[in-house]
Amino acid sequence: MKFDEKMLLLYAVTDRAWVGKQTLLEQIEAALKGGVTIVQLREKNMDEDRFVEEAIRVRELCHKYHVPLIINDNVDVALKSGADGVHVGIEDAPVAEVRKRVPAGFIIGATCKTVEQAKTAEAAGADYMGVGAVFPSPTKTNAIRITNEQLRRIIASVSIPAVAIGGISYDNVCEIKGSRVSGVAVVSAIFGAEDIEGATAQLKDRVRSVVGE
């Protein structure tokens, strides 16, 4: 699936902490029905074979809704499952190494917390960057916070688009208006909701007003 900046508008990152009444696949489908524009599958404690099997199922589901699937951290799983891309953190494989291993058109996202990291990611061939944490994050309590001013400087320093991440919710997302983000990445704001489809649709409407600044 060819990368387009518009894919970043509402970026859903999965988390098994919220699995309960629904399976992970059911939660993802509810989010897709609500209008998420890209899905990142994150599995920190699953062996690779199971991860690949799950990624294949999620990829098929996402493609049914014409939405790309990104795998968190694991390039091998992304390639074996036919996912559309991979997102690498600061402590994961460098973007330049990943770019050498993947086919043309493969989407690569990179976490960036500084202007220097953003410039390095862009030069290495990243398609987009995830910048944060912009608010205290319930899923990553030790995440380094960045200010709105830092967010703006990082985004302005490169030409690749950015998603803001970290503790973003329906109630606070408007605080990053004017930062030139292309979208927001969320976990609990979608998967922690009682009504995932409804919460996703409401959040998407509000994010449009933030991105449209």
Closest CA to 181 of 198, 162, 209, 194: 162
What CA–CA distance (Å, rounded) separates 147 from 130? 14
DSSP assigned state of 175 = G
What CA–CA distance (Å, rounded) separates 118 from 154? 7
Neighbour count for residue 152 (Cβ, 10 Å): 16
Rg of the chain over Cα atoms, rounded to whole angstroms, equals 16
What CA–CA distance (Å, rounded) separates 114 from 190? 27
pLDDT tens over the chain, length 213 residues: 999 999 999 999 999 988 988 999 999 999 999 999 999 999 999 999 999 999 999 999 999 999 999 999 999 999 999 999 999 999 888 999 999 999 999 999 999 999 999 999 999 999 999 999 999 876 666 777 899 999 999 999 999 999 999 999 999 999 999 999 999 999 999 999 999 999 999 999 999 999 975
Given the DSSP bridges, would you call strands 107-112 and 128-132 parallel, antiparallel or unpaired? parallel
pTM: 0.96
Q: Is 204 helix (H, G, I), strand (E, B) or coil?
A: helix
